[in-house]
Amino acid sequence: MRLTRRQFAALSAAGAAALAFPFAPALAQDAKPDVKLEDLLKEGAAKDYWQGSKDAPATIVEYASMTCGHCAHFHETTYPTLKSKYIDTGKVRFTMRDFPLDPLAAAASMLARCGGDDKRDALVSLLFSKQSEWVVQKPIAALQNLVKQAGFTQESFESCLKNQELYDALTKGRDAASDAFGINSTPTFFINGKRQVGAITVDELDKLLAPYLKN
C-alpha cells in the first residue's frame, strides 16, 4: 500500500478514531508475558534509534503508535524524567519502536524518520506533544506545518509519504513484533525483557527500574 496524498486524506479518519480509542484489546494473560532480552534486541526491518549507554544495567524497549493518546501522555509526562534521571546518567538504554495502529500513525512515523537520524527523536517528541492538532479528519496541512520546523519542504514532505520501502519496513516491523512478542496494544514496554502494558507514571517507572539498579 502506497501512502499517496489522496489515500492519506481518505484514511485519516482512522487516526481520529485512534485518539478516541488509543488502546487495542488488552493482552491475554497467557500470551507470551515476557521475552528474552537477546531476542528483543535484534533489529527488525525498521532501524532502531537507541538512547543511552550500551552498558546500562536496564534496557527499555517501547512499542508505540504515533496516534495513541496514552503513548503521547507517556512521552509528555514520564519520558522527560526517564531521559534525565536514567538515560542520561547511564542507567537505562532506551528505544521507541514504531507500532503503527493505523495509516495516519504510519505516516507520522515515516515523517519522523525522513527528517534524518539526528532529528528523529525530536520529531517524535514534537508530534506527540502536538498530537491533538494533527490527529484530525484532515491532518495533512497540520502535519506539514509541524514538520516544516525540521526543514521539510512541500517536495520532501510528499516524497516521504510516498516512500514505499519505508512504509513496508514499518508495517513489517509491527507485524513481526506482534507475531514474536504477542504485542497487540500500545504502549507496550519491555524492561530487560519483562513486559509492561500501558502508560507508565514516574512513580511506577522508579519502582519498575529499582530491581535492576540496586548496584
Contact status, residue 155 vs residue 165, Cβ threshold 8 Å: no
**Beta carbons within 10 angstroms of residue 142's beta carbon:** 15
Q: What is the pLDDT of residues 92-102, one digit of tens each?
A: 999 999 999 99
Contact status, residue 104 vs residue 14, Cβ threshold 8 Å: yes
Residue 5: predicted pLDDT: 52
Mean pLDDT of the chain: 87
User: pLDDT > 70: what percent of the chain?
Assistant: 85
Does the pLDDT of residue 34 top 50, yes or no? yes
Band (pLDDT 50/70/90 cuts) for residue 73 is very high
Does the pLDDT of residue 65 top 90, yes or no? yes
The length of the chain, given as a count of residues: 215
In the chain, the domains with their CATH numbers are 5-24+33-210 (3.40.30.10)
Residue 189: predicted pLDDT: 97
Contact status, residue 183 vs residue 55, Cβ threshold 8 Å: no
Q: What is the pLDDT of residues 187-201, one digit of tens each?
A: 999 999 999 999 999
Strand partners, 60: 94, 191
Residue 203: is it exposed, middle or buried by C-beta count within 10 angstroms (0-12/13-18/19+)?
Answer: exposed
Q: What is the pLDDT of residues 97-116, one digit of tens each?
A: 999 999 999 999 999 999 99
| Entry pTM | 0.87
All three cell numbers of 99: 507500532
Q: What is the mean pLDDT of residues 115-122?
A: 94
Residue 16: predicted pLDDT: 45
Band (pLDDT 50/70/90 cuts) for residue 138 is confident
Residue 25: predicted pLDDT: 38
